[in-house]
Structure 1
Amino acid sequence: MINYYFHNDPSKLPDYSEDCHPVQLYKTHDYDKTKHSKASRSLLEKVRKLGVPIDADAIDLVTIASAVTAADSFELRQKAADAWSRQMHLHIPVKDENLWTLLSDKLVSLLNFLTGDQWKFTFFQSTMELPKPINSNNAKKICNSLKGLNSVCLFSGGLDSAVGAIDILNAKSKYKPLLVSHTYKGDGEKQRAIKSLLKSDFAELSYSIYPSLMEPLKGKTDISMRGRSFNFLAMAVLGIIALRNANDGSTIDTIIVPENGYISINPPLTRRRIGSHSTRTTHPFFLNKLEDLLRDAGFHVKFVNPYQFKTKGEMLAECKDQVAIAKAIPLSVSCSHWHRRNIQCGYCVPCLIRRASVHHANFKKDAPYENHNIKPIIKEYKKRDDIQSVQAAIIRLNKSKDYRGWLRQSGNLPSDPIIREKLESTIERGLAEVESFLKAATV
């Protein structure tokens, strides 16, 4: 089991060894790239620029989430015994050591489900000074922009989050959101372009983690990034705390997670994809477990997915501002390989579902793809796995019609039979969209 040690003060970090990886968090001290890896260097400054005080428990949460994201990035799955499930022991400084030690088993259970790894946590007392709001005209302006808002909405720059933001801000909605977004290299410009299509006033909190390996270890980082959603949701919780403090301690609690129901459930296409090989970012079971953990930690929030029973194609077709979403489609990013080449591949599962949704909703203009014509991909050994997996699922389910059994393979589900029936119908319609697209593409 690899030990990851985190601290904002580099003098408190151990030296690197084969089973000990030191990571410096935040930008409170100078950084020596020859001795330590790093993560979340700019995050505290982003928090300070909100212009409102942020509680210690929220800082603890994002510190834990930053550590999880860093370890998830640094530890290559190919080094694991089964080339997937890793074993990681994280040592993390927090203000409330007793609370998080008490909750560590729940945290482990949550992350094991999310990433398919074996996590272990040791918490110790943080000596870091809490970030204080910046007293500047710009910070005051940002603080004022938080007043009157009543929710947080995740905004990733993907197609689903574009629909979510447009439906809320370009139509009559009870929600007045703070948009929380994570930026990767190349994402920021696209996110800003989509935000320019939004018609109502909103505030935003854009942040980055940017885990970076120390110089002696420079090389590949893990691209599966199963743990990043925990960080995204932790920042959304911090956003809720900012809204409460800016609005005189109000009971704001809603975090909107716009995700189509097919991807939310993400049923495994083949037997070898059962388990965490299929992402569980917004799976209802994961969000329910996270809500429980946060409640025990003193946070009272609720996650709301307005599109839990919609396919991606239905989200596009029913978007409340068709002009805006037509402009947003070419600007949005869905690809799982995007960060390798800064262009969407066109053949991974997220790309196939995206392209199927655009086809279903009859939009003519999509984003550029590295492989616009996917028919030749079938002959390429290194690229064809996702398409073949989708085809195998279509053939199997067209024959068996066992969508209920397929749904159960995605993991624990809500006990309500009506909700289960709706989820079953959603994944059936979602797969049908992909089948229709593949037929049109003559694959």
Structure 2
Amino acid sequence: MARVGELQSVTTLIFHHEIHRLPPPSSGVIPVLMYGTRPPGRGTCCIGGPVRAEVRRLGAPVSRAGFDLLTIAMAITAADTFVDKAEADDGWARVLRLSIPIADPDLWNPAVPLLQKALHFLSGDIWDITLLPDGPRQLPSQRRGNITVMAGHDCVSLFSGGMDSGIGALDLIALGRRPLLISHSYRGDSEKQILIRNQLPVNLSRFAAVAHPISGLGTQSDVQMRTRSFNFLAYGTLVGATLAQLRVAGPPVDLFVPENGLIALNPPMTRRRIGALSTRTTHPHFLGLFQKVLSIVGLPVKVVNPYALKTKGEMLNECLDRASLSQLVSDTVSCGKWKRAHVQCGKCVPCIIRRASFHAAGMTDDTEYGKGQDLSSVMNDGKARDDLMAMILASRGLPHVDAARWILQAGPLPYGRQARDDLIAVATRGMKEVQKYLASLNLL
């Protein structure tokens, strides 16, 4: 990897929570008001205004290191949003230099090299992060009004409104756990999350926040958000570390990341999807790097994907509360294009894997899909069948592919033979679910 700035253009983002401490905008430099509600002026940006208010609603003193992680995550989200990948020299890998004031940089500086490595794996960009003192500190907790109740919860679980996160919550409840649900409350998503949360068999608290980046640059922001899972995990870590502080003692708080093994690994369905269309948001290698960062700074949170070795169909079939699952599963959202029209398209890769999981579990799929409801019709539409064709080609090639080499294209696997074999096996089983589903539609 080239050193930052070597033969590449660099975009510098300078953050501060006090307006007068921000530099004026200039070529290649973006001033960003941290936890601001609007950009201070033309050529500047802001991020995180609603988040700080949600943190105050936790009604408990939050972890200092956890709040610093949140501040770092806000800065990463800002860079990912305000710097369009099209501006990169190669149209994809940006060179991003971030200057971020936090409360305790001495604690966090040893973790910066690993943090940059994790972000590079996640987004493909080159990250150069400098942590400075005098950063924002969390305000006193809100004591009245609408408080997020933390009492009675023993873990946290990411809750997107998707099928996997819904099953994750149901399984934890059935096992006697009480997860505090963590959500990105994007417009449209929040309503779905509340709908599904209200159908769970017990009442669970939900921490829901949105970074709300606002640009004053007069240019288009990057909507891909390759680092969105870092932000999601930062929310969960902050709440988990705060839960840990409420205990007298005990093991780290579990942060559950419910994601089926095929989607977590996300191996490319075709060669051209290795980069742009193969995200790494919950890849086990990234989650492992994130856990190491938490360990370096002493945050008492353990990241766990309980479904890393299960397919989506197996998650459906083995859910511990089938009665509740049948009530809420059709309301869950798996679609990768949901945010465009708030209707699941039925024809993107996540939708096809979702539909295949119902077929594998022998369950009726009552989900309302959009124009992709009939996949046979999608095949006749040259403009709409790209994802479907990729899944068909991958399914046809499945018997002949070197599974280990295929999965390694998405990222490193564990060194241990058994762990590697287990991950290869779950990806293969997941694709076989897709293969059987497409065959049932006479599309193979």
The TM-score normalised by the length of structure 2 is: 0.91
Give, as a single letter, the amino acid of the residue that structure 2 aligns with 1:365. D
SS where residue 217 of structure 1 aligns? coil
1:207 aligned onto 2:216:
no
Quote the Cα distance in structure 1 between the aligned partners of 2:269 and 2:390. 6
1:10 equivalent in structure 2: 19
2:28 equivalent in structure 1: 19
1:383 equivalent in structure 2: 384
Cα RMSD, aligned residues only: 2.1
Give, as a single letter, the amino acid of the residue that structure 2 aligns with 1:69. T
Residue 33 of structure 1, CA deviation:
5.7
Identity of aligned residues (%): 37
Answer yes or no: is the 8 Å Cα contact 1:194–1:328 preserved in 2: yes
Q: Equivalent of 2:75, from 46, 67, 74?
A: 67
1:175 equivalent in structure 2: 177
Answer yes or no: is the 8 Å Cα contact 2:252–2:302 preserved in 1: no
Residue 218 of structure 1, CA deviation:
5.1
Answer yes or no: is the 8 Å Cα contact 2:241–2:301 preserved in 1: no
Residue 152 of structure 1, CA deviation:
1.0
1:55 aligned onto 2:63:
yes
- 322 and 6 in structure 1: CA distance in 2 versus 1, 3 angstrom threshold: same
2:196 equivalent in structure 1: 194
Residue 397 of structure 1, CA deviation:
2.1
- 131 and 382 in structure 1: CA distance in 2 versus 1, 3 angstrom threshold: farther
- 93 and 391 in structure 1: CA distance in 2 versus 1, 3 angstrom threshold: same
Quote the Cα distance in structure 1 between the aligned partners of 2:395 and 2:338. 26
1:166 equivalent in structure 2: 170
SS where residue 54 of structure 1 aligns? coil
2:270 equivalent in structure 1: 270
Give, as a single letter, the amino acid of the residue that structure 2 aligns with 1:194. I
Quote the Cα distance in structure 1 between the aligned partners of 2:47 and 2:184. 14
Q: Deviations over 1:163-220 (max 9, x none)?
A: 1011122x2x142211111111111111011001111242221111122212x5253x
1:155 aligned onto 2:149:
no
Q: Flag structure 1 segments of 5+ consecutive residues without an equivalent.
A: none
- 379 and 73 in structure 1: CA distance in 2 versus 1, 3 angstrom threshold: farther
SS where residue 197 of structure 1 aligns? coil
Aligned length: 433
- 57 and 311 in structure 1: CA distance in 2 versus 1, 3 angstrom threshold: same
2:372 equivalent in structure 1: 371
1:299 aligned onto 2:299:
yes
Quote the Cα distance in structure 2 between the aligned partners of 1:75 and 1:379. 37
Q: Flag structure 2 segments of 5+ consecutive residues without an equivalent.
A: 1-9
Answer yes or no: is the 8 Å Cα contact 1:159–1:334 preserved in 2: yes
Answer yes or no: is the 8 Å Cα contact 1:148–1:247 preserved in 2: no
Quote the Cα distance in structure 2 between the aligned partners of 1:364 and 1:149. 32
Quote the Cα distance in structure 2 between the aligned partners of 1:356 and 1:150. 34
Give, as a single letter, the amino acid of the residue that structure 2 aligns with 1:23. V
SS where residue 146 of structure 1 aligns? coil
Quote the Cα distance in structure 1 between the aligned partners of 2:38 and 2:433. 52
1:427 equivalent in structure 2: 427
Quote the Cα distance in structure 2 between the aligned partners of 1:188 and 1:354. 21
Quote the Cα distance in structure 1 between the aligned partners of 2:438 and 2:171. 29
Residue 357 of structure 1, CA deviation:
1.4
Answer yes or no: is the 8 Å Cα contact 1:335–1:351 preserved in 2: yes
Residue 230 of structure 1, CA deviation:
0.6
Q: Deviations over 1:252-287 (max 9, x none)?
A: 421111110111111122223335741112211111
Q: Deviations over 1:277-314 (max 9, x none)?
A: 41112211111111111111121322111111111111
Residue 31 of structure 1, CA deviation:
4.9
